[in-house]
Homo-oligomer: A and B are copies of this chain.
Amino acid sequence: MRPTIKDVARDSGVSVATVSRIVNGLPGYSPETRKKVMKVIEDLGYKPNAVARNLVSRKTSTIGVLLPQLSSHFAAKLLQGIEDEAHNRRYSVVVCNTDSNGKRTQDYLELLREKQVEGILFASELLTDEYAETLQGFGIPAAVIATTSHVPSIPFIKVDDEAASYSAVQFLIENGHQRIGMISGTKHDPISGIPRIKGLKKAFSENGIPFEEELIEYGDFGFRSGYEAMERLYRSNPELTAVFAASDEMALGILSFCYEKGMKVPDDLSVIGYDDTDIATMSIPPLTTVHQPIQEMGTDAVRMLMKMIDGNQPESRFMAYRITKRNSVKNLT
CB proximity to B under 8 Å, residues A218-256: 223, 249, 252-253, 255-256
* Residues of chain B within 8 A of A92, CB atoms compared: 94, 96, 111, 115
The reply to whether B47 and A55 form a contact with Cβ atoms under 8 Å apart is: no
Tell me which of A65-73, A162-170, A191-199 binds B.
A65-73
The reply to whether A282 and B51 form a contact with Cβ atoms under 8 Å apart is: no
The reply to whether B47 and A114 form a contact with Cβ atoms under 8 Å apart is: yes
Q: At the interface, yes or no: A45 with Cβ under 8 Å from chain B?
A: yes
Q: At the interface, yes or no: A300 with Cβ under 8 Å from chain B?
A: no
Tell me which of A78-86, A144-152, A308-316 binds B.
A78-86
Distance of A286 Cα from B223 Cα, bound (Å) = 12
The reply to whether B95 and A79 form a contact with Cβ atoms under 8 Å apart is: yes
Q: At the interface, yes or no: A33 with Cβ under 8 Å from chain B?
A: no
* Residues of chain B within 8 A of A72, CB atoms compared: 76
1/0 contact string of A97-116 vs chain B (CB within 8 Å): 10000000000001101111
Q: Interface of chain A, helix or strand or loop or mixed?
A: helix
The reply to whether A47 and B110 form a contact with Cβ atoms under 8 Å apart is: yes
Residue total for A at the interface (Cβ-Cβ under 8 A) = 55
Number of copies: 2
Q: At the interface, yes or no: A54 with Cβ under 8 Å from chain B?
A: yes
The reply to whether A83 and B97 form a contact with Cβ atoms under 8 Å apart is: yes
The reply to whether A87 and B76 form a contact with Cβ atoms under 8 Å apart is: no
Q: At the interface, yes or no: A331 with Cβ under 8 Å from chain B?
A: no
The reply to whether B284 and A256 form a contact with Cβ atoms under 8 Å apart is: yes
* Residues of chain B within 8 A of A259, CB atoms compared: 284-285
Q: At the interface, yes or no: A77 with Cβ under 8 Å from chain B?
A: yes
* Residues of chain B within 8 A of A69, CB atoms compared: 80
Q: Which residue of B lies closest to A224 (CB)?
A: B281
Distance of A285 Cα from B258 Cα, bound (Å) = 11
CB proximity to B under 8 Å, residues A85-142: 87, 92-97, 110-111, 113-116, 137, 139
Q: Which residue of B lies closest to A279 (CB)?
A: B279
Distance of A97 Cα from B299 Cα, bound (Å) = 14
The reply to whether B60 and A70 form a contact with Cβ atoms under 8 Å apart is: no
Q: A113-B47, A279-B279, A284-B256 are in contact. Are A83 and B62 (CB under 8 A)?
A: no
* Residues of chain B within 8 A of A93, CB atoms compared: 94-95
Q: At the interface, yes or no: A214 with Cβ under 8 Å from chain B?
A: no
Contact of A45 among B49, B87, B137, B223 (CB under 8 A): B137
Q: List 6 A-B contacts (CB under 8 A).
A: A51-B51, A51-B54, A51-B60, A51-B116, A92-B96, A94-B94
Q: Which 6 A-B pairs have the closest CB atoms?
A: A76-B76, A71-B80, A70-B80, A50-B114, A252-B282, A50-B115
